[in-house]
Homo-oligomer: A and B are copies of this chain.
Amino acid sequence: MLIINSILEMKALVKDIRQKGKTVGFVPTMGYLHEGHLTLMREAKKKTEFVVTSIFVNPLQFGVGEDYEEYPRDITRDSCMAREVGVDAVFAPTIREMYPNGYATFVEVEKLTDKLCGKSRPGHFRGVTTVVAKLFNIVQPDIAFFGQKDAQQAAVLQQMAADLNMNLAIEVVPTVREVDGLAMSSRNTYLSREERKAALVLSESLKAAGKLFASGERSPGVLKDKITGMINREPLARIDYVEVCTLPGLEETERLEGQNLIALAVFIGSIRLIDNLIVEG
């Protein structure tokens, strides 16, 4: 497996691979890999012939007071894990390489980014779309893989790729969970033992809402109340948002028809976690 730090080298490698007629799969990450990332990489291995993963903690998508500095980093561990699932190249650029002095260009998706996490984290998605647009130009994949856990991110990136006529497909892969249901996240490593237990309220309240939906409930308000009630009973949890909306438009809805997203962000202690459930009916 190759480890590449330079943009020019990455471009040269991909050019060579494409000239050999191979398809390229791409899994962008911020590192500190977990089973969720590895599932994306395995999916990429299945569907493409050369798999690149990037490891880059993107300062542009962190707000003031967020955890950019503390975000866990371990490139040795990450490279080892990527190699084991058959990744062909890890792209790990420096910040200076990605954002040289005088850097001034930003990609912005409107509307979709005003809601859910976009409301609580202003500028976050602008950072995501900008870095992903750059990475797409560097790696030039046929298919890029993203996790359903970041449902809004996936919707925003699909809108960006379609609007800017990018030459790739975006695949969204179901959320991978711990045995007890907690959605995998690099931020789970921040949780104390007590918080780890409390964090279960995210997946469990979603599961309860899913059961209500399965039993015929179609009112977004009733589902939201169910979730809010459960989370409010957990002393370590504080709701950032609980939303029920259409997918991929992320619009409010009066009654659940077609594909909808139940999404939530909850602080467990000081750690902000997200999870979601797609319901279809």
Taking Cβ atoms with an 8 Å cutoff, the residues of A that contact B are 7, 11, 102-112, 129, 133-134, 137-138, 140, 159-160, 163-167, 249
Contacts and interface: CB of A to CB of B under 8 A. Distances in A.
A11 B134 CA distance: 21
Copies, count: 2
Q: Which of A7, A102, A160 has the most CB of B within 10 A?
A: A102
Contact of A106 (B102, B108, B166, B249): B108
Contacts of A109: 104-105
A148 to B, nearest CB: 21
A163 B104 contact: yes
B166 A103 contact: no
Contact of A105 (B104, B138, B159): B159
A165 B134 contact: yes
A174 to B, nearest CB: 26
Contacts of A105: 107-110, 129, 159-160, 163-164
Contacts of A138: 165
Contacts of A165: 7, 11, 134, 137-138
Nearest to A15: B167
16 contacts: A102-B249, A103-B163, A104-B109, A104-B110, A104-B111, A104-B112, A104-B163, A105-B107, A105-B159, A105-B164, A106-B107, A107-B133, A134-B163, A134-B164, A137-B167, A140-B167
Given A104-B112, A105-B108, A106-B108, 6 more contacts: A104-B109, A105-B107, A107-B107, A107-B108, A108-B108, A137-B166
A163 B163 CA distance: 19
A7 B111 CA distance: 24
Nearest to A166: B137
A128 B173 CA distance: 35
Contacts of A102: 111, 249
A104 to B, nearest CB: 4
Contacts of A133: 107, 164
Nearest to A18: B18
Contact of A167 (B11, B112, B163): B11
